[in-house]
Amino acid sequence: MTLAAAGGRARPKSVWLAAGLILLAYAALGNWLVLPGYHRFLAHGHSSADRAGLDLALIWGASKTIVWMLSFHLGAFCVTWAALHAIGERSRTFRRWFALGALVWIGLWTIPTLPGPYTAMFAGVGVLILLLIAIAFGRAALTGEAFAHAGGAHWRIASAFFFALATWDMCGLGSVGEILHPDAAARVANQALVVAQTTKLIVELAIAWGLLAISAFPARTRSAA
């Protein structure tokens, strides 16, 4: 392979990585640039909605909030995509399916409220996660070969993506969701959002552990990705 060809293949990976890091940086900075205004909006009971006419301040604040809330997910997707690119051509088909699944999930994640909470659903998913943990680490204990095969690399990267989303959502429950301050006005005004985000969090953990469990098995026991 020529140096020009190698550089051409490396360029998309670098672009995705740079874009992801920029989005992740904005996700962190939003805690100071966006979150205080969002808390004030919730604490005042959405009073801006009662104003007549076009409220440019509200539109600008809402736009910043939406971009900030999606910045981590899109940033994590970009850096994950760059990591999958780094694996090489053997992950091409997997990358396509991962992109479809990740973007569908991010779309579902934007839904602000969900019916619930469903105690049985949380209990059931919790049991499923325990089973997946046992599969992921049980094989390592029995064979000493967990994650040894190269074919599992893309599954582990995809698993890390969903672990990252779950980590961010957990932080969001403490900041935007105000679960650390249950008597706060924002907590009361945002109860439906807290329920929805908690539901999404446990689903993300189940998906992440599921992908990690799949990566524990040799490629010959799975369909090629």
Q: What is the dihedral of CA 85, 89, 94, 97, to 10 degrees?
A: 80
Question: What would the 3-class secondary structure string for the chain be?
Answer: CCHHHHHHHHHHHHHHHHHHHHHHHHHHHHHHHCHHHHHHHHHCCCHHHHCCCCCHHHHHHHHHHHHHHHHHHHHHHHHHHHHHHHHCHHHHHHHHHHHHHHHHHHHHHCCCCCCCCCHHHHHHHHHHHHHHHHHHHHHHHHHCCCCCCHHHHHHHHHHHHHHHHHHHHHHHHHHCCCCCCCCCHHHHHCHHHHHHHHHHHHHHHHHHHHHHHHHCCCHHHCCCC
User: Which pLDDT does position 80 carry in this prediction?
Assistant: 95
pLDDT at 5: 45
Quote the pLDDT of residue 161: 97
pLDDT band at 23 (very low <50, low <70, confident <90, very high): very high
Q: Which has the minimum average pLDDT: 26-35, 69-78, 188-197, 209-218?
A: 188-197
pTM of the model: 0.77
Q: What is the model's pLDDT at position 78?
A: 95
C-alpha 106/C-alpha 74 separation (Å) is 8
Q: Decide if 84 contacts 154 (C-beta within 8 A).
A: yes
* pLDDT > 60? residue 45: no
The mean per-residue pLDDT over the stretch 183-193 comes to 60
- pLDDT of 136: 83
Least confident of 64-78, 103-117, 150-164, 175-189: 175-189
